[in-house]
Amino acid sequence: MKTHKFKLSDPIQFLALGFGSGLAPKAPGTFGTVAAIPLLMLCASLPVIQYVVLVLAMSIVGIYLCGYTAKAAGVHDHPAIVWDEIVGLFITMFLIPLTWQTMLVGFILFRFFDIVKPWPISWLDKHCHGGFGIMIDDIVAGLAALACMHLIF
């Protein structure tokens, strides 16, 4: 994966690249999801309304972050852009008590939906473009994983 077009010194790209985790040579989406865990642990105890506002803000800002960084890279949805994975894990863990077990199950479920992309995730991935397109399939993958989490826990 070419990374020479990315600048970690650019705060927008730094965030879109998951604090640099998306530059992992293998499985950047998985590394981006791992990078979300400490941030999620810090935010998990927020009151529900604050958590919702945070995730909405992360999603909306993510459209810009991801679109900007994709344009800088010259590649739509470059694998190194992992802000969408960070938001997806935050969605997956909404109203789920944080334990190592729930985190593991949520992580696996989110990665499953993000990688396999069952319908409608696959449709969104193919038909939505720009920063919105980068974000929306992971948002829906997070919602699918969240539904499973609430059924399990």
**How many domains does the chain fold into?**
1
Residue 105 belongs to some domain of the structure: yes
- Phi, psi values for residue 130, rounded to 5°: 70, -165
Residue 52 belongs to some domain of the structure: yes
Residue 47 belongs to some domain of the structure: yes
Residue 23 belongs to some domain of the structure: no
Residue 139 belongs to some domain of the structure: yes
The mean predicted confidence, pLDDT, of the chain is: 95
Residue 38 belongs to some domain of the structure: yes
Of 26, 134, 47, the residue nearest 88 (C-alpha): 134
Mean pLDDT of 39-50: 97
pLDDT class of 5 with cuts at 50, 70, 90: confident
| Segment 98-147, tens digit of pLDDT | 999 999 999 999 999 999 999 999 999 999 999 999 999 999 999 999 99
Task: Report the amino acid identity of residue 93.
Answer: M
- Six-digit token pair at 29? 């989406």
Write down the pLDDT at residue 2.
Answer: 52
Mean pLDDT of 73-78: 90
Residue 3 belongs to some domain of the structure: no
- Six-digit token pair at 136? 């929306």
Mean pLDDT of 45-68: 98
Residue 15 belongs to some domain of the structure: no
Write down the pLDDT at residue 4.
Answer: 57
pLDDT value at 76 more than 90 = no
Domain that includes residue 64, residue range: 30-152
| 96 in Cβ contact with 148 (< 8 Å) | no
